[in-house]
Protein backbone atom coordinates (compact mmCIF):
# COMPACT_ATOMS: atom_id res chain seq x y z
CA UNK A 1 0.00 0.00 0.00
CA UNK A 2 1.39 3.37 -0.97
CA UNK A 3 -0.09 6.76 -0.05
CA UNK A 4 1.45 9.89 -1.56
CA UNK A 5 0.29 13.29 -0.27
CA UNK A 6 -3.18 11.86 0.44
CA UNK A 7 -5.80 14.26 1.79
CA UNK A 8 -9.52 14.04 2.44
CA UNK A 9 -12.02 16.84 2.96
CA UNK A 10 -15.71 16.62 3.78
CA UNK A 11 -18.39 19.18 3.08
CA UNK A 12 -20.60 20.12 6.03
CA UNK A 13 -23.31 22.77 6.49
CA UNK A 14 -20.61 24.94 8.12
CA UNK A 15 -18.13 24.51 5.28
CA UNK A 16 -15.28 22.18 4.36
CA UNK A 17 -13.65 20.01 7.03
CA UNK A 18 -10.19 18.63 6.41
CA UNK A 19 -10.00 15.12 7.91
CA UNK A 20 -6.47 14.12 6.85
CA UNK A 21 -3.70 16.07 5.16
CA UNK A 22 -0.57 15.16 3.19
CA UNK A 23 -0.38 11.50 4.24
CA UNK A 24 2.78 9.84 2.92
CA UNK A 25 2.95 6.19 3.92
CA UNK A 26 4.27 2.99 2.36
CA UNK A 27 3.32 -0.37 3.87
CA UNK A 28 5.23 -3.33 2.38
CA UNK A 29 3.60 -6.71 1.83
CA UNK A 30 3.46 -8.83 4.97
CA UNK A 31 3.86 -5.96 7.45
CA UNK A 32 1.72 -5.50 10.55
CA UNK A 33 1.23 -1.73 10.72
CA UNK A 34 -0.63 -0.12 13.63
CA UNK A 35 -2.05 3.41 13.51
CA UNK A 36 -2.60 5.38 16.71
CA UNK A 37 -3.80 8.91 17.25
CA UNK A 38 -6.30 11.04 19.18
CA UNK A 39 -10.04 10.62 18.64
CA UNK A 40 -11.26 12.32 15.48
CA UNK A 41 -7.82 12.57 13.85
CA UNK A 42 -8.82 10.74 10.66
CA UNK A 43 -7.58 7.21 11.40
CA UNK A 44 -10.82 5.59 10.27
CA UNK A 45 -11.04 7.92 7.26
CA UNK A 46 -7.59 6.75 6.17
CA UNK A 47 -8.59 3.12 6.65
CA UNK A 48 -11.78 3.60 4.63
CA UNK A 49 -9.74 5.05 1.78
CA UNK A 50 -7.42 2.03 1.90
CA UNK A 51 -10.51 -0.19 1.70
CA UNK A 52 -11.89 1.70 -1.29
CA UNK A 53 -14.95 2.78 0.71
CA UNK A 54 -13.93 6.42 0.35
CA UNK A 55 -11.72 8.33 -2.07
CA UNK A 56 -8.99 10.91 -1.45
CA UNK A 57 -9.72 14.47 -2.47
CA UNK A 58 -6.00 15.01 -3.06
CA UNK A 59 -2.94 12.86 -3.58
CA UNK A 60 -2.68 9.25 -4.71
CA UNK A 61 -3.38 5.99 -2.88
CA UNK A 62 -2.54 2.67 -4.50
CA UNK A 63 -2.57 -0.96 -3.41
CA UNK A 64 -0.66 -3.61 -5.32
CA UNK A 65 -0.77 -7.37 -4.89
CA UNK A 66 2.46 -9.40 -4.57
CA UNK A 67 1.00 -11.87 -7.08
CA UNK A 68 0.29 -9.15 -9.63
CA UNK A 69 -3.43 -9.92 -9.52
CA UNK A 70 -6.06 -7.35 -8.67
CA UNK A 71 -5.47 -6.65 -4.96
CA UNK A 72 -8.18 -7.48 -2.47
CA UNK A 73 -8.94 -6.34 1.04
CA UNK A 74 -11.25 -7.15 3.91
CA UNK A 75 -12.31 -4.94 6.81
CA UNK A 76 -12.98 -5.84 10.45
CA UNK A 77 -14.83 -3.12 12.36
CA UNK A 78 -15.37 -2.64 16.07
CA UNK A 79 -18.60 -3.98 17.49
CA UNK A 80 -21.30 -6.14 16.04
CA UNK A 81 -20.98 -6.54 12.30
CA UNK A 82 -22.33 -10.08 11.93
CA UNK A 83 -25.61 -11.16 10.36
CA UNK A 84 -27.79 -12.24 13.32
CA UNK A 85 -29.90 -14.56 11.17
CA UNK A 86 -26.88 -16.58 10.00
CA UNK A 87 -25.03 -19.22 12.01
CA UNK A 88 -21.40 -18.71 13.04
CA UNK A 89 -20.26 -20.97 10.21
CA UNK A 90 -22.44 -19.26 7.64
CA UNK A 91 -21.23 -15.83 8.76
CA UNK A 92 -17.62 -16.90 8.17
CA UNK A 93 -18.49 -18.33 4.76
CA UNK A 94 -20.70 -15.43 3.65
CA UNK A 95 -18.06 -13.64 1.59
CA UNK A 96 -17.11 -16.88 -0.12
CA UNK A 97 -20.73 -17.43 -1.11
CA UNK A 98 -20.94 -13.91 -2.49
CA UNK A 99 -17.88 -14.37 -4.70
CA UNK A 100 -19.18 -17.65 -6.12
CA UNK A 101 -16.96 -20.14 -4.31
CA UNK A 102 -18.35 -23.66 -4.69
CA UNK A 103 -20.11 -25.28 -1.74
CA UNK A 104 -17.45 -27.94 -1.09
CA UNK A 105 -14.58 -25.45 -1.12
CA UNK A 106 -16.60 -22.99 0.94
CA UNK A 107 -17.27 -25.62 3.60
CA UNK A 108 -13.60 -26.67 3.66
CA UNK A 109 -12.36 -23.10 4.15
CA UNK A 110 -15.03 -22.37 6.77
CA UNK A 111 -14.23 -25.57 8.68
CA UNK A 112 -10.50 -24.79 8.69
CA UNK A 113 -11.04 -21.26 9.98
CA UNK A 114 -13.48 -22.42 12.64
CA UNK A 115 -10.75 -24.78 13.89
CA UNK A 116 -8.04 -22.10 13.75
CA UNK A 117 -10.22 -19.70 15.73
CA UNK A 118 -11.34 -22.31 18.27
CA UNK A 119 -14.96 -22.09 17.16
CA UNK A 120 -15.63 -25.54 15.70
CA UNK A 121 -18.06 -26.42 18.49
CA UNK A 122 -20.08 -23.28 17.77
CA UNK A 123 -20.44 -23.60 13.98
CA UNK A 124 -24.22 -23.99 14.21
CA UNK A 125 -24.73 -21.39 16.94
CA UNK A 126 -26.00 -17.89 16.20
CA UNK A 127 -24.21 -14.63 17.10
CA UNK A 128 -26.50 -13.84 20.04
CA UNK A 129 -25.65 -17.23 21.57
CA UNK A 130 -21.90 -16.62 21.90
CA UNK A 131 -19.75 -14.07 23.73
CA UNK A 132 -18.59 -10.73 22.33
CA UNK A 133 -15.05 -12.11 22.07
CA UNK A 134 -16.28 -15.04 20.00
CA UNK A 135 -18.24 -12.70 17.74
CA UNK A 136 -15.05 -10.75 17.04
CA UNK A 137 -13.27 -14.00 16.20
CA UNK A 138 -16.05 -14.72 13.72
CA UNK A 139 -15.60 -11.27 12.17
CA UNK A 140 -11.87 -11.95 11.78
CA UNK A 141 -12.61 -15.37 10.29
CA UNK A 142 -15.06 -13.91 7.80
CA UNK A 143 -12.40 -11.41 6.68
CA UNK A 144 -9.71 -14.09 6.36
CA UNK A 145 -12.00 -16.49 4.49
CA UNK A 146 -11.81 -14.46 1.28
CA UNK A 147 -7.98 -14.57 1.45
CA UNK A 148 -7.42 -10.79 1.18
CA UNK A 149 -4.07 -9.26 0.29
CA UNK A 150 -4.75 -6.52 2.85
CA UNK A 151 -6.55 -6.99 6.18
CA UNK A 152 -7.87 -3.70 7.59
CA UNK A 153 -8.92 -3.63 11.25
CA UNK A 154 -10.63 -0.61 12.81
CA UNK A 155 -10.39 -0.95 16.61
CA UNK A 156 -11.65 -4.55 16.47
CA UNK A 157 -10.94 -5.22 20.16
CA UNK A 158 -11.83 -1.81 21.55
CA UNK A 159 -15.13 -2.83 23.15
CA UNK A 160 -13.80 -6.01 24.78
CA UNK A 161 -12.68 -6.56 28.35
CA UNK A 162 -8.93 -6.66 28.91
CA UNK A 163 -8.62 -10.43 29.35
CA UNK A 164 -10.57 -11.19 26.17
CA UNK A 165 -8.54 -8.56 24.33
CA UNK A 166 -5.28 -10.24 25.37
CA UNK A 167 -6.53 -13.62 24.13
CA UNK A 168 -7.59 -12.20 20.77
CA UNK A 169 -4.32 -10.30 20.38
CA UNK A 170 -2.45 -13.59 20.81
CA UNK A 171 -4.74 -15.36 18.33
CA UNK A 172 -4.42 -12.57 15.79
CA UNK A 173 -0.61 -12.65 16.06
CA UNK A 174 -0.61 -16.42 15.60
CA UNK A 175 -2.86 -16.24 12.52
CA UNK A 176 -0.91 -13.34 11.01
CA UNK A 177 2.46 -15.00 11.56
CA UNK A 178 1.25 -18.15 9.78
CA UNK A 179 -0.54 -16.37 6.92
CA UNK A 180 1.86 -13.54 6.06
CA UNK A 181 -0.99 -11.12 5.38
CA UNK A 182 -0.49 -7.38 5.30
CA UNK A 183 -2.40 -5.88 8.23
CA UNK A 184 -3.33 -2.28 9.02
CA UNK A 185 -4.73 -2.06 12.53
CA UNK A 186 -6.22 0.99 14.28
CA UNK A 187 -6.19 1.25 18.06
CA UNK A 188 -6.23 3.79 20.88
CA UNK A 189 -4.15 1.45 23.07
CA UNK A 190 -0.40 2.05 23.09
CA UNK A 191 0.12 -1.33 24.81
CA UNK A 192 -1.79 -3.06 22.01
CA UNK A 193 0.12 -1.17 19.32
CA UNK A 194 3.52 -2.18 20.73
CA UNK A 195 2.42 -5.80 21.22
CA UNK A 196 1.20 -6.26 17.66
CA UNK A 197 3.08 -3.91 15.35
CA UNK A 198 6.15 -4.00 13.16
CA UNK A 199 5.74 -0.22 12.92
CA UNK A 200 3.53 2.26 14.74
CA UNK A 201 2.20 5.25 12.79
CA UNK A 202 1.45 8.14 15.15
CA UNK A 203 -1.08 10.64 13.80
CA UNK A 204 -1.66 14.23 14.85
CA UNK A 205 -4.92 15.88 15.85
CA UNK A 206 -7.27 16.91 13.02
CA UNK A 207 -6.43 17.41 10.28
CA UNK A 208 -4.61 14.12 10.67
CA UNK A 209 -1.01 14.09 9.53
CA UNK A 210 1.72 11.58 10.29
CA UNK A 211 3.59 12.85 13.33
CA UNK A 212 6.07 9.95 13.45
CA UNK A 213 6.63 6.33 12.45
CA UNK A 214 8.16 4.16 15.17
CA UNK A 215 9.88 0.84 14.50
CA UNK A 216 9.03 -1.87 17.03
CA UNK A 217 12.21 -3.88 17.71
CA UNK A 218 10.78 -7.07 19.23
CA UNK A 219 11.49 -10.30 17.36
CA UNK A 220 8.96 -12.56 15.67
CA UNK A 221 7.30 -14.87 16.58
CA UNK A 222 6.33 -12.63 19.42
CA UNK A 223 5.26 -13.58 22.93
CA UNK A 224 3.05 -11.04 24.68
CA UNK A 225 4.51 -11.82 28.09
CA UNK A 226 8.08 -11.57 26.78
CA UNK A 227 7.35 -8.25 25.09
CA UNK A 228 5.70 -6.72 28.17
CA UNK A 229 8.53 -7.85 30.49
CA UNK A 230 11.24 -6.45 28.22
CA UNK A 231 12.71 -3.16 29.54
CA UNK A 232 12.46 -1.77 26.00
CA UNK A 233 8.66 -2.00 26.26
CA UNK A 234 8.48 0.82 28.80
CA UNK A 235 10.84 3.00 26.79
CA UNK A 236 8.79 2.45 23.63
CA UNK A 237 5.55 3.18 25.49
CA UNK A 238 6.99 6.46 26.78
CA UNK A 239 8.28 7.44 23.34
CA UNK A 240 4.85 6.84 21.79
CA UNK A 241 2.95 8.62 24.56
CA UNK A 242 5.31 11.60 24.46
CA UNK A 243 4.36 12.02 20.80
CA UNK A 244 0.65 11.51 21.45
CA UNK A 245 0.20 13.59 24.58
CA UNK A 246 0.27 17.00 22.91
CA UNK A 247 -1.95 15.78 20.06
CA UNK A 248 -4.55 14.35 22.45
CA UNK A 249 -4.57 17.64 24.39
CA UNK A 250 -4.91 19.65 21.18
CA UNK A 251 -7.77 17.44 19.96
CA UNK A 252 -9.62 17.91 23.27
CA UNK A 253 -9.16 21.67 23.13
CA UNK A 254 -10.50 21.74 19.58
CA UNK A 255 -13.61 19.79 20.63
CA UNK A 256 -14.19 22.05 23.62
CA UNK A 257 -13.77 25.13 21.44
CA UNK A 258 -16.29 23.79 18.93
CA UNK A 259 -18.82 23.13 21.70
CA UNK A 260 -18.36 26.63 23.09
CA UNK A 261 -19.22 28.28 19.78
- Digit-coded pLDDT (tens) for 196-252: 999 999 999 999 999 999 999 999 998 888 999 999 999 999 999 999 999 998 888
Note down the domain range covering 171: 2-72+148-260
How far apart, in whole angstroms, are the C-alpha atoms of residue 28 and residue 241? 25
65, HSE (Cβ side, Cα atoms, 13 Å): 10
| Strand order across the 58-62 sheet | 15-26, 2-12, 58-62
Question: What band does 64 get if pLDDT is binned at 50, 70 and 90?
Answer: confident
For a pLDDT cut of 90, what percent of the chain falls above it?
Answer: 66
Q: 168 or 205: whose pLDDT is higher?
A: 205
Predicted pLDDT of residue 80? 64
pLDDT score at 195: 95
Average pLDDT over residues 126-130: 95
Check residue 211 and give its pLDDT: 95
In sequence order, the β-bridge partners of residue 9 are 18
* Residue 67 belongs to a domain: yes
53 lies in a domain?
yes
Mean of the per-residue pLDDT values of the chain: 91
User: Residue 25's beta-bridge partner residues?
Assistant: 3
Q: Identify whether 134 is part of a domain.
A: no
Beta bridge partners of residue 62, listed in sequence order: 2
Condensed to tens digits (0 to 9), the pLDDT of residues 91-120 reads 999 999 998 999 999 999 999 999 988 899
Instruction: Please check whether residue 118 lies inside any domain of the structure.
Output: no
Of 105, 106, 49, 89, the C-alpha closest to 73 is 49
Q: For residue 255, what pLDDT is reported?
A: 74
- Tell me, yes or no, whether 61 lies in a domain: yes
253 falls in which pLDDT band (50, 70, 90)? confident
3-state helix, strand, coil in the chain (%, to 5): 45, 25, 35
Judge whether 137 lies within some domain.
no
Residue 164 has pLDDT above 90, yes or no: no
Contacts of 73 (CB under 8 A, 6+ apart): 50, 51, 52, 63, 148, 149, 150, 151, 152
Whether 81 is covered by a domain: the verdict is no
Tell whether 94 is covered by a domain: no
Q: Are 199 and 239 in contact (CB under 8 A)?
A: no
Check residue 65 and give its pLDDT. Answer: 75
DSSP string, 37-106: --TTSSHHHHHHHHHTSS--SEEEEE---TTSSPP-EEEEESS--S-TTS-HHHHHTHHHHHTT--HHHH
The model carries a pTM of 0.90
Residue 8 belongs to domain with CATH number: 3.40.50.300
How many distinct structural domains can be found in the chain? Answer: 1
Amino acid sequence: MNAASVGREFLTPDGSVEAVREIDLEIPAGEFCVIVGPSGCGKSTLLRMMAGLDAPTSGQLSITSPSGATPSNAVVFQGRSLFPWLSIGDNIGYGLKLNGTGKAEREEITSRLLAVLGLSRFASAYPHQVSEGMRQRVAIGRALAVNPDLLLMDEPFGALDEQTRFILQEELLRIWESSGKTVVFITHSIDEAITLADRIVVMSAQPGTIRAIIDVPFARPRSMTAVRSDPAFGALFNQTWDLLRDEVTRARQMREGALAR
